[in-house]
Amino acid sequence: LAKTTQPISMDSYEGQEVNITCSHNNIATNDYITWYQQFPSQGPRFIIQGYKTKVTNEVASLFIPADRKSSTLSLPRVSLSDTAVYYCLVGDTDKLIFGTGTRLQVFP
Amino acid sequence: GAVVSQHPSRVICKSGTSVKIECRSLDFQATTMFWYRQFPKQSLMLMATSNEGSKATYEQGVEKDKFLINHASLTLSTLTVTSAHPEDSSFYICSARGAGFVHNEQFFGPGTRLTVL
């Protein structure tokens, strides 16, 4: 499974757009890029998934460049409730290997 | 989305006792269930993968005789921590996926916090 690198932490203010970038230089052809969100003392929640270009849903957007060696999760107009840890995962199997994640803190 | 429940949400036990944690998929049939543990301020660590009706596959370093996993039906998997010790205190989380799920999509339970005294 491709190893991922993402910032350990990020701070933002309510109403701002937050972009979290994940590097996955050795991504394989069959790998998908998936992001999960985890609040304290809860199980993670699937946010978004993509293979290439851009994917958007009601929660976030995922930008993937042509070489697929990185991806950016974009959260529009964050609120206090978006404070959580965000994990970027890369793979094509059922098994999920979580990296360290990015701890996002949103301030009022 | 699909719902996964865990029971109990919190358990405190004495050292040397065994603890069973249940994981249920409430509105779908889970062809595969996963067990993770998470220590404070750390990431989730996959412990094992279980498919209904077959033996679980454990990750390297996870003792299968200590962490017994049973996946007897398409909606229920159990994790039994045998002869628990304080170092087993952790947050245990299960997840499940079923037919038609997209790649890498799992639905997670709310977790079980185990404290061993």
pLDDT tens digits for range A36-63 = 999 999 999 999 999 999 999 999 999 9
In whole numbers, what is the pLDDT of chain A averaged over residues? 94
Neighbours of B27 (CB within 10 A): 11
- Distance from the Cα of B14 to chain A's closest Cα (Å) equals 22
pLDDT at position A82: 97
Site of tokens 């998929």: B25
The minimal CB distance from A43 to the residues B32, B46, B109 is found for B109
Report CB contact under 8 Å: A96, B104. yes
Confidence of residue A92 (pLDDT cuts 50, 70, 90): confident
Report CB contact under 8 Å: A46, B106. yes
**In the predicted model, is pLDDT for residue B1 greater than 80?**
no
Site of tokens 């793979």: A91
Structure tokens at A23: 């590097």
In whole numbers, what is the pLDDT of chain B averaged over residues? 94
- Distance from the Cα of A36 to chain B's closest Cα (Å) equals 9
Confidence of residue A1 (pLDDT cuts 50, 70, 90): low
> DSSP secondary-structure letter at B102?
P
The percentage of chain A sitting over the pLDDT mark of 70, rounded to a whole number, equals 98
Cα B5 to Cα B74: distance, rounded to the nearest angstrom:
14
